[in-house]
Amino acid sequence: MPKIYHERLVNAKEMVKKAHAGKYAIGHFNINNLEWTKSILEAAQASNTPTIIATSEGAVKYMGGVKTIVGMVNGLLEELNITIPVSLHLDHGQSVEMAKKCIEAGYSSIMFDGSHLPYEENKQKTKEVVEFAKQYEVSVEAEIGSIGGEEDGVVGQGELGDPTEAQEFSTLGIDMLAAGIGNIHGKYPEWWTSLSFETLEKLQTASKMPMVLHGGSGIPQNQVEKAISLGISKINVNTELQLAFRDATRKYIEEKKDLDDKTKGFDPRKLLKPGADAIKATFLELTGWFGSQGKAK
């Protein structure tokens, strides 16, 4: 079967494979609306950075469904003349049905997160997603164990990944693997100190494949760079962009620019611009850490 997704999209397989070999990481940036998506795509194009844009299931509901998201992304890719590799990815897909729905709508990459299921069921359903996705040249990310913190209202303490499970999942045909290494979704609490690099080394030795760092927002630069050197090839970012957007928007409002009727400071295009610019700046800062700038063909 031919691939369904837009000709300007790519799946993430080659992206993360090259990153793994080159010891850098691809940035995965969750999108929440038009401004988010446009800002990330423009910054990625300007910096020649291969990029993954992603939606959680919560964001899918908020933005009006997968067809709405695919239509917006495809339109932006054409109108902005985006030529760098971009993948549209489902983040933390909780069911086989959701994964298939996104593929059929035009996503080019899928995460099936069966970490909430018994291990054997997670493995079986991951295989089912892989078999379906490969028919359409869609890349697949899987997860073993669970990542700590909050994701779409689900809170967990997280656990360290099991190397035996990592080795078994590496044989299922997936393109990248997420596993807990002390990382947490959302803002990192004060008691958090470090990623478990010992665990990461064991997981990498067992799986020998590109690994994914979820909860990438807030981890110190030196730890990010060390994780990349040990096999992390994709880093997920959401909270950091949200905080940058919030801070820039708050500053605009606190300076009462939205109350300036003469300049129409209340116009959403002006009201949201500082936040959109902050997203671009944060994207460029983080992809600098990741080493992915300039890596597009």
- pLDDT averaged over the chain? 92
213 in a structural domain? yes
For residues 159 and 145, the answer to whether their CB atoms sit within 8 Å is yes
User: Is residue 25 in a domain?
Assistant: yes
Does 149 have pLDDT greater than 70?
no
pLDDT score, position 155: 39
- Tell me if 7 sits within 8 A of 75, measured CB to CB: no
pLDDT at 178 over 80: yes
pLDDT > 80? residue 147:
no
Residue 157 reports pLDDT greater than 50: no
pLDDT tens digits along 189-202? 666 667 889 999 99
Would you say residue 58 lies in a domain? yes
Give the model's pLDDT for residue 121.
97
**105 in any annotated domain:** yes
91 flagged as catalytic = yes
Domain range for 178 is 13-242+280-290
User: Is pLDDT above 50 for 154?
Assistant: no
Q: What is the CATH number of the domain that holds 151?
A: 3.20.20.70
Count of domains observed in the chain: 1
Q: Is residue 72 part of a domain?
A: yes
pLDDT-wise least confident of 12-26, 161-175, 189-203 = 189-203
Q: Residue written as tokens 């837009």?
A: 6
- The whole-number average pLDDT for the span 24-29 is 98
In a domain, 186, yes or no: yes
- For residue 186, the model assigns a pLDDT of 67
Predicted local confidence at residue 156, as pLDDT: 43
Catalytic residue selected from 91, 113, 162, 175? 91
Which pLDDT score, from 0 to 100, does residue 215 have? Answer: 74
223-238 pLDDT, tens digit per residue, is 999 999 999 999 999 9
pLDDT, average across residues 103-108: 98
pLDDT of 79-103, one tens digit each? 999 999 999 999 999 999 999 999 9
Q: Is the pLDDT of residue 150 over 80?
A: no
pLDDT, position 145 = 78
Instruction: Provide the percentage of residues in the chain whose pLDDT is more than 70.
Output: 92
Q: Is position 50 within any domain?
A: yes
Query: Is 178 within a domain?
Result: yes
Q: What is the pLDDT of residues 31-54, one digit of tens each?
A: 999 999 999 999 999 999 999 999
